[in-house]
Structure 1
């Protein structure tokens, strides 16, 4: 029997993220145990929405509260809370920690393996796209400007579609029609909130390959620890 591996799973919203783990836990090797931590666990929806609301010009992050509601936050306000979760996960025995967010973050303090999805996904997209633009789903229109900055820094051209995985899950296929017939390499769903069912609807609608971050990261965990 393989040694049990504890992996800290840090959401910038509230734990548990049953919407994410419902897709990825069945994919993980039986000895990989996800322990969830939420940056907003100590706060109510009203507290988080007020206390961490993004100001003008600040980078915007979108996540989910425990009851399913979408919450919009300033990246800068969330960073110390995420750092606390990483250190707590390691203190409680995590051999690796994964951030359940595709946003851009600064370097965090950590002593064990830390998986930050954004640079991994950008490197993947950069190599696979072969100078073609990609289709890109983002949760909120307020994120378009920062996403343009992040992707241009990686040399990735994209056509965006806005659809919140927390508010508009049933509209994914409809929004993906914007990509039909276009010369795009594939579609990236740029939020951990997008799920397997949404991916299927998007593929059925536009007939382009679709990269889903949550399942990609789950496969990476298997590669590392299975």
Structure 2
């Protein structure tokens, strides 16, 4: 096969604040990202902030009362609620290592992290992509936001700056949250964002069965941006 006919290679590093493999996120995103692509071979590798940790080490990362937190997924499928500060410290160390491995893109699978800029690799920060999209769509009405944890409602406005009014509800994508019931509470909003990369396409459809307002899915917004970079 001639060089002109060979598919281009594009490597993505998916980084989760939980454990890999993220079978609940990465396959669905890769389907969205690669649909219809014929001239590029897209491959991915996953990295997890909590990979390889013992039960004792995982316990040490648990969020304490009143502390900013993340909800994420262990390899077993169980939910874990971790300290935002300690998680981000480990995340930034991992990113520095990945930066030297020749990836075309690094994608953060979390809408809420703060990272140190890298020298060699472009980073897709899910929070910045999602929040910018939401702000571009915001009108004079109320924005509905679905979050994983009740405790995240209290500090949401410290971590995300949205124009206008917001109405916040919590339904975990990992611990059987009642998405239909919570989404219904946001029916009077202008539109709704499912503000966690853990929410899936199937969960989006469940939310849309009870919510009269348009509902957006964070991972699809991010996948669309990644697709434009290939």
TM-score scaled by length of structure 1: 0.90
Counterpart pick for 1:132 among 122, 136, 141 = 141
> Partners of 2:203 and 2:10 in 1: how far apart?
30
Q: Give deviations 1:53-93, integer Å, cap 9, x for gaps.
A: 22344211110001101011111101122123222323222
Paired residues in the alignment total: 220
Partner of 2:26: 21
| 1:173 and 1:202 in contact (8 A); partners too | yes
What SS does the corresponding residue of 1:61 show, helix, strand or coil?
Answer: strand
Q: What's the offset of the Cα at 1:216?
A: 1.4
Counterpart pick for 2:68 among 30, 55, 59 = 59
Q: Give deviations 1:89-117, integer Å, cap 9, x for gaps.
A: 23222111010000141434342101111
| 1:8 and 1:90 in contact (8 A); partners too | no
> Partners of 2:222 and 2:29 in 1: how far apart?
9
Gaps of 5+ in 2: 1-5
Partner of 1:69: 78
RMSD: 1.7
Counterpart pick for 2:44 among 34, 39, 42 = 34
TM-score scaled by length of structure 2: 0.89
More helix by share: 1
Gaps of 5+ in 1: none
- 1:173 equivalent to 2:196? Answer no
> Partners of 2:70 and 2:22 in 1: how far apart?
16
**Rg: which structure is higher?**
2
What SS does the corresponding residue of 2:120 show, helix, strand or coil?
Answer: coil
